[in-house]
Chain A
């Protein structure tokens, strides 16, 4: 089992793009018991990864509950870095 943040980043190397809700849905089965498995924490982790160039924003919109969804992707260099450090 990987640390939560590793699993979060690794997911982006397997999909074209994803938002926080998408990632949480995928990781829910394995990580839902983690205290850090909260939407705010996940969003902060994604924004920190973006600030450090691991991920880049692709688009944003509002979901059916009028909540903001920001989508990110791991560009080629970001994906290479993630795969280099996280096995």
Chain B
């Protein structure tokens, strides 16, 4: 009988180990996929904004938009169009998968309200701060915004008591260093006017995304991730379209109509098809971000997502440079090296490398 019991115990231990390992691997893969899809989302949104009405707005500008409108309003309009397409994807998928009842029940609750607030931090606030930062300070804002995994991990420790030890901090620092390497090649030249304010906006973006990732990742421990991402995309799409675009239209002082701008962005067949593709990628990348961070915890999940600082330039090179033949999207060699460094950083966050050596040392005893 004891032999049978021992066999059952061994089978249970094996099954449990298999379940835990599979869950962790799945979480890491989902979080990494979120970084890759962020690259495609960026590339297709950039592609959409190089077609249709955007050609005129960014080029000949026969509409007579001010420099402010070209910089901020057109940027916000592109983001609003993508996010709205993404929200339609999210609502359609939630409906098809029988989540709409719980969606409406959830948005009335406290976790639902928290998710909405976090989505506003990450959607219109962080994204807009990122755009302004880029305009003011240039590409140095990229590595600064890539501080969001570190900020998310630190917030996760303070707000949700999630584990964060010295090894994980080292891994986060390595990932950040890799982001700096990616941006390094474009950091040459004189500092543009308004550098300090641009860097400040870069930090605001990092804090916004860090807060969003940490809070919404944790939120998926209470809210079904498909419902969570539907709340996020609907919040982001509506707030960008109904609040941000009209505010920028008023601020531009050009006397242009927000409605006309939105209509031109949505009604142009050349660009809307790519906005729809970008919206699909946005839906997937943010859903995977929330789900992966929920499954892995803030530090590991957000660092895996932080690979977007490599996948962004990489996907732009593939889609815009190789497929559509646009110039200026080539990847510098340092970016490839940085990708390897980033993988090392994520590996260090995920596990203690010394554990591999310990396992090897144990093998002879285990087989004996």
A residues apposed to B, CB below 8 Å: 1-6, 9, 34-36, 43-45, 47-49, 51-54, 60-62, 66, 68, 70, 77, 82, 84-87
A53 to B221, CA, bound (A): 9
B residues apposed to A, CB below 8 Å: 8, 11-12, 15-16, 19, 23, 27, 97-99, 102, 105-106, 109-111, 114, 160-162, 217-218, 220-224, 227, 294-297
Q: Give chain B nearest CB distance to A65 CB in angstroms.
A: 12
Other-chain residue from A2, A49, A52, A66 in contact with B105 (beta carbon distance below 8 A): A2
Note all chain A residues with C-beta closer than 8 A to B11: 62, 66
Contacts A/B (CB < 8 Å), 6 sampled: A35-B97, A47-B23, A52-B162, A52-B218, A84-B110, A86-B109
Q: Are A68 and B102 in contact (CB under 8 A)?
A: no
Note all chain B residues with C-beta closer than 8 A to A4: 102, 224
Other-chain residue from B99, B160, B161, B220 in contact with A48 (beta carbon distance below 8 A): B220
Query: Considering only CB atoms, which chain B residue lies closest to A78 in the complex?
Result: B221
Q: Are A60 and B294 in contact (CB under 8 A)?
A: no
A48 to B162, CA, bound (A): 13
A61 to B105, CA, bound (A): 35
Note all chain A residues with C-beta closer than 8 A to B16: 60, 68, 70
Q: Give chain A nearest CB distance to B30 CB in angstroms.
A: 11
A60 to B15, CA, bound (A): 10
Given the interface pairs A48-B221, A53-B161, A68-B19, the reply to whether A36 lies near B294 with Cβ below 8 Å is no
Other-chain residue from A66, A68, A70, A86 in contact with B222 (beta carbon distance below 8 A): A86
A16 to B16, CA, bound (A): 21
Q: Are B160 and A3 in contact (CB under 8 A)?
A: no
Other-chain residue from B8, B19, B111 in contact with A62 (beta carbon distance below 8 A): B8
Given the interface pairs A68-B19, A85-B110, the reply to whether A49 lies near B221 with Cβ below 8 Å is yes
Q: Given A2-B105, A53-B162, list of 18 further CB < 8 A pairs?
A: A3-B109, A3-B227, A4-B102, A5-B222, A6-B106, A34-B102, A43-B19, A45-B224, A48-B220, A51-B295, A52-B162, A52-B294, A60-B12, A62-B11, A70-B19, A77-B161, A84-B110, A85-B114
Note all chain A residues with C-beta closer than 8 A to B296: 51
Note all chain A residues with C-beta closer than 8 A to B295: 47-48, 51
Q: Are B297 and A51 in contact (CB under 8 A)?
A: yes
Note all chain B residues with C-beta closer than 8 A to A6: 106, 109, 222
